[in-house]
Amino acid sequence: MRRSRIRCLMLTATVGVWALAGCGDDGTSTTAAATTTTTETVTDTVAAEPSEESGPGTDGAPPPADLEVAELTSFSSPTGNIGCVVDPASVRCDIAERDWSPPPAPADCSLDYGQGVQLTAGGTAELVCAGDTALGGGSALAYGESIAAGLLRCDSSRAGITCRDIETGRGFSLARGSYEIF
Do residues 47 and 8 lie in contact, with contact meaning Cβ atoms separated by under 8 Å?
no
- What pLDDT sits at residue 50? 38
Angstrom distance (rounded) from CA 66 to CA 75 = 13
Q: Which DSSP state fits 178?
A: -
91: left (phi over 0), alpha (psi -120 to 50) or beta: beta
pLDDT of residue 141: 98
Residue 163 host element (H or E)? strand 160-165
Strand-pair partners of 179: 174
Beta bridge partners of 162: 155, 173
In the 8-state DSSP scheme, what is residue 80? S
Residue by residue, what is the 3-state secondary structure of 85-137? EEECCEEEEEECCCCCCCCCCCCCCCCEEEEEEEEECCCCCEEEEECCCCCCC
Q: What is the pLDDT of residue 63?
A: 81
> CA nearest 167: which of 131, 103, 119, 99?
119
Determine the pLDDT at residue 22.
40
SS (H, E, C) 17-73: CCCECCCCCCCCCECCCCCCCCCCCCCCCCCCCCCCCCCCCCCCCCCCCCEECCCCE
Per-residue pLDDT of the chain (182 residues; tens, 9 = 90+): 333 333 333 323 333 333 333 444 444 444 444 333 333 333 333 333 333 444 445 566 778 899 999 999 999 999 999 999 999 999 999 999 999 999 999 999 999 999 999 999 999 999 999 999 999 989 999 999 999 999 999 999 999 999 999 999 999 999 999 999 99
Residue count of the chain, please give it: 182
Asked if 78 and 140 touch (Cβ cutoff 8 Å), the reply is yes
Q: Is 120 helix (H, G, I), strand (E, B) or coil?
A: strand
Give the pLDDT of residue 111.
Answer: 96
